[in-house]
Structure 1
Amino acid sequence: MYAILDIETTGGKYNEEGITEIAIYQYDGHKVTDQFISLVNPQREIQPFVVNLTGINSNMLRNAPKFYEVAKRIVEITEDCIIVAHNSSFDYRILKTEFKRLGFPYKRKTLCTVELSKQLIPDMESYSLGKLTRALGIPIADRHRANGDAMATVKLFKMLLNKDLDKVIVKDAIKIEQKSKMSSNLNNIIDELPSDTGVYYIHNVDGEIIYIGKSKNIRKRIIQHFTGTNSKSKKIQKLVNTVTYEKTGSELAALLKESAEIKKNKPIFNRALRRSIFTHALYSYTDSNGYINLQIDKSDREDAPITTFSTRASGKHFLFKAVEDFNLCQKLTGLYTTKTSCFKYEVKECLGACINEEPIEVYNNRVNLLKEKFSYDNKNMLIIDKGREIEEKSVFLIENGIFKGMGYFELNHQINNLKILKSVITPMTNDRDSQHIIQSYLRRNKRLKIIDLNKD
């Protein structure tokens, strides 16, 4: 659990400042679960430059509660939470100073979104909250007011959690939670899980990830783990202390994150992703007559496939339909072995590429239409899919046929501006697994929105 906050102060000498406004959002890693926003009477003078910056003056604070009147609420909303703030050393110091004046020792673990941003979003021009959120396309209202800055920090932190493929933030949070609150009762763990698409992480008592999986229904899949009777399920049931999860909205996002995060975290109960997940692929080559031939083959070849399949049978099924949809020759797709004409030619459904009757260019144009539809080789494009919430979409960036990464956006200008887009995107590896996952998903989901970046 996190307490994401922002504090405005009077300014003045070090450790003599007073709080003028505070906003705290309790955040469970997925949604805001509680909030506290209040002006505070600091009982001291506000520096003129602070008045100009924040717009908060002494008249506004005359009837505001004093710090001791809101201290209990602050303790409650931040209890068992990690304090998250942009430049957390400042906000945490101010809070500790105010509590010290009351004779109360206030101690919390902190996370700084400035430092996290430098690690997870390197090479930004500035890491000030205003400039950073602008560069990322995150809307910010009431700049230099506690509520506006705290809400912007919530949105920034949500993005940082998504970019943290090593899961350092989550693992650290689990380690410091009181173990008495970490239930190892399997039913209690299940009760906290959503029935949404996403990636889930099974942790042991030390917070270490022992298994990573993905599912269209996280809760249902964890129930299967907890009721399974095979050797792996029994070991997981014995060691599990908690389950965290990340909703992705998009199944493609879940597949890609699962693949990337297994490689990075290497959980003890995850075998390396098997190459046999996509055992076969569709390839093309030009024969001695100049016609483009299609062929289903094992997916371990060096040349780039058009698309991939989990079995040879599913590949052949795809080819039979492609022959119909694109009016292709059975012989040149490997579906009809013959030294003469194919069967479809005999029933006048093939135009004769099998016996060199159809013009090469005419036939090859139809094959290229198929390749264009089912391959992203050399393309510059965005794949747009479901987001985690109604107002959000997921985006996947392909440049020159290379998968660059994925992210989430709410506003169109976040993907229309290439500089903002690349800041929103979480970089991911363009390995064979990610290529297979994307090609297969594109083939199976024909209603995806695709944006061609080469078009104006």
Structure 2
Amino acid sequence: MKDLKFAVVDIETTGNGIKGNRITEICVIILNNGEVEEKFTSLVNPSQSIPLYIESLTGINDDMVSSAPAFSEIADEVLKITRDCIFVAHNVNFDYNILRAEFAAIGMEFKRKRICTVRLTKKLIPGLFSYSLGNICTSINIPLYDRHRAEGDCEATVILLKRCLSLDENGEVIDEYLKRKSGADYLPPNFKNSDFDKLPTATGVYFFKDKDGVPLYIGKAKNIKTRIKSHFQEKSNRKYELMQQTHSIDFELTGSEFLALLREAELILKFYPKYNKAQKKVSRPYTLTSYHNQKGIEVFALHKNKIAPVSWMKFYTREEAIKFMEELCIKFELCPKYCGLQAQVNACDHYKIMECSGVCEEKISVEEYNSRVAKAHEFIGHYDDSCLLLEKGRTKGERSFIYLNKGKYAGYGYIGPMDEMNHPEEFTNYLIPAKTSSYADRIVNRYINSKKNLSRIPLTQTNEVPHEEETELWFS
């Protein structure tokens, strides 16, 4: 370890998280060949008021920093003293990111290799009750004076670093943490590097958990490992707080991104994780209904009333509803005027539907038009039939399925290449039931409306073997 030079850093701040946080005091101690080579300490004028709770914690107040130099006045000194050094701090990402932000604010770049003494101590001195600087110092008898002042905390961190270096005689742990490709630079202080290496690059949902295993945040990703690393690199205050409380990360593979979306929605509603933004309340859906006007023509209409005499379908955005009605209009040669697509017109003149049925201009009889509407009713009636939506599985040869019970998400499952399936109705042997919700309804709705070629198998109420093409779809 003789070739390594360390800049041990501690900063005190105005306490506004990562963004908007300003330095009030900084101490840098250079450790070279195990000996203190240089020290730099200074109060810093943050150009903003110091909150009372921070003053109570650190003892630093507005009067103390009013005549102190601004960071721009000491930036060159900090840059110079830390050059060619490994940046070391207790919970290093906090100090490092705030310092980088101060440099960036004055148009300067600050980039150093870094090591966290929290993670280093966890690796080399396992089993401590707590890894806060104060508790570590108490546990292993390191003197700590002027707690929550930059120089006092920095001097204690120097002693802690020396202890760790003495326990890492061959430098293997330090070398591991200095490898940028390992992702250790970005890991939360309580999270093991080996656990990060085990994360999959496949599709599924993931869970940030606290020390008791309670989910703090749940997300979905096509590539779990890459997505989680991006969380580590985000600099928002909220994400920083999440990282500080994360002790482990769990995951569940789904194979299908669609299924991952459904599982994410279901699990968020089950656990209500602290750091998930509350799922926005889904607005009241648009209901597709119909009625007969004074001419006896059956008219389709979209509305948001809670109660409708006839309710055919529900849509969670007007765009989805309009798109469906346009397709219905074209498929069954209906009149845009009587399908909620045009209003206050005598005859249809729709920008997309060039050929109207003609009922608006009495070119066909009301009876003939209503017979077309009846066919549309039949189509809509089967639109939300129970079915299985087939998706990618988690492994080669496996298929995942999403079970829709009368159009509503009701569960999912996986069928492997060796599983015996004679017809789709046997899917219940592999079904994992799930609770539906307005969020799940919306996800299913959008998915179905956005997919041109759905792998969809209708389910019957009998045990009849499905058509040959359906069987091939299931086992392909």
TM-score, reference length from structure 1: 0.50
**1:385 corresponds to 2:391:** yes
Contact 1:415 1:421 in 2 (8 A): no
Cα gap change, 1:235/1:355 in structure 2, threshold over 3 Å: closer, same or farther?
Answer: farther
Question: Aligned to 2:347, what secondary structure does the other structure show?
Answer: coil
Cα offset for 1:203?
A: 0.9
What is the 5 A alignment of 1:190-339? Answer: 190-276=196-282, 280-281=285-286, 283-288=288-293, 289=295, 291-298=297-304, 306=313, 308-309=315-316, 311-313=317-319, 315-317=321-323, 319-320=325-326, 322-324=328-330, 326-339=332-345
* Matching residue of 2:124: none
Q: 440-449 or 245-254: which moved more? A: 440-449
**Ranges of 4+ aligned residues in structure 1 off by more than 6 Å:** 299-303
- Secondary structure of 2:230's counterpart equals helix
Shift of 1:202: 0.7
- Quote the Cα distance in structure 2 between the aligned partners of 1:304 and 1:268: 37
SS of match in other structure, 1:338: coil
Partner of 2:100: none
2:372 alignment partner in structure 1: 363
Aligned to 1:46: none
CA offsets, 1:403-436, max 9 Å, x none? 4311111256347274x53232111123333222
> Which residue among 394, 400, 412 is the counterpart of 1:406?
412
Alpha-carbon offset, residue 248 of structure 1: 0.5
CA change 1:329–1:207 in 2 (3 A) is: same
In structure 2, distance between residues paired with 1:312 and 1:199: 29
What is residue 428 of structure 1 aligned with on the other side?
A: 434
Shift of 1:215: 2.2
Distance, in Å, in 2 between the alignment partners of 1:370 and 1:186 is: 55
Per the alignment, do residues 442 and 372 of structure 1 end up closer, same or farther by CA in structure 2, a change over 3 Å counting? Answer: farther
Deviation at 1:281, TM superposition (A): 3.9
- What is the CA deviation profile of residues 222-250 of structure 1, one whole-angstrom value per residue up to 9, with x for unaligned ones? 23322223343222122112211111112
CA displacement, residues 301-360 of structure 1 (integer Å, 9 cap, x when unaligned)? 788663534x43454355445544554322123222125211159x97111233553523
- The 8 Å contact of residues 308 and 440 in structure 1, kept in 2 or not, is answered as no
Q: Which amino acid aligns with 1:245?
A: F
CA distance in 2, matches of 1:330, 1:297: 16
SS at the partner of 1:336? coil
Query: Does structure 1 residue 416 correspond to structure 2 residue 414?
Result: no
Deviation (angstroms), 1:211: 1.0
The question of whether the paired residues in 1 share the 8 Å contact of 2:191 and 2:246 is answered with no
Q: Deviations over 1:377-398 (max 9, x none)?
A: xx23222221111211112233
Contact kept in structure 2, 1:291 and 1:364, CA below 8 Å: no
Q: Quick one: distance in 2 between partners of 1:210 and 1:384?
A: 31
Q: CA deviation at 1:437?
A: 2.2
Q: Over aligned residues, Cα RMSD in angstroms? A: 3.6
Report the alpha carbon displacement of residue 185 of structure 1 after superposing the two structures with TM: 4.6
The 1-side partners of 2:431 and 2:219 are apart by 22
Once residues 224 and 349 of structure 1 are traced to their aligned partners in structure 2, the CA distance between those partners, rounded to angstroms, is: 51
The Cα offsets for residues 15-49 of structure 1, whole Å up to 9 and x where unpaired, read as: xxxxxxxxxxxxxxxxxxxxxxxxxxxxxxxxxxx
Partners in 2 of 1:416 and 1:232 — Cα distance?
49
The answer for unaligned runs of 5 or more in structure 1 is: 1-181
Secondary structure, aligned partner of 1:441: helix
Distance 1:299 1:221 in 2: 40
CA distance in 2, matches of 1:188, 1:284: 57
Partners of 2:306 and 2:442 in 1: how far apart?
11
Q: Which amino acid aligns with 2:445?
A: Q
**Contact 2:388–2:401 at 8 Å: present in 1 too?**
yes
Aligned to 1:340, what secondary structure does the other structure show? coil
- Preserved CA contact (<8 Å) 2:288 2:303: yes
Relative distance call for 1:314 and 1:436 in structure 2 (3 A) is: closer
State the secondary structure of the residue aligned to 1:343: coil
The change in CA–CA distance for 1:415 and 1:189 in structure 2 (over 3 A counts) is: farther
Change (3 A) 1:344 1:314: closer
Structure 2 matches for 1:89-238, cutoff 5 A? 184-185=190-191, 190-238=196-244
Other structure's SS at 2:289 match: strand
Is the CA contact (8 Å cut-off) linking 1:200 and 1:218 kept in structure 2?
Answer: yes
How far is the alpha carbon of 1:198 from its aligned partner? 1.0
| Separation in structure 2 between the aligned mates of residue 214 and residue 224 of structure 1, nearest angstrom | 13
Q: Secondary structure at the match of 1:275?
A: coil
Query: How far apart are the structure 2 equivalents of 1:315 and 1:222?
Result: 35
Contact 1:299–1:308 under 8 Å retained in 2: no
Identity %: 26
C-alpha contact 1:197 1:250 (8 A) present in aligned 2: yes
The structure whose Rg is larger is 2
Distance in structure 2 (CA, Å) of the matches to 1:199 and 1:192? 15
- Number of the residue aligned with 1:448: 454
Comparing 237-246 with 321-330, which one deviates more in the overlay? 321-330
Distance 2:422 2:403 in 1: 10
The total of aligned residue pairs comes to: 269
Letter in 1 for 2:377: N
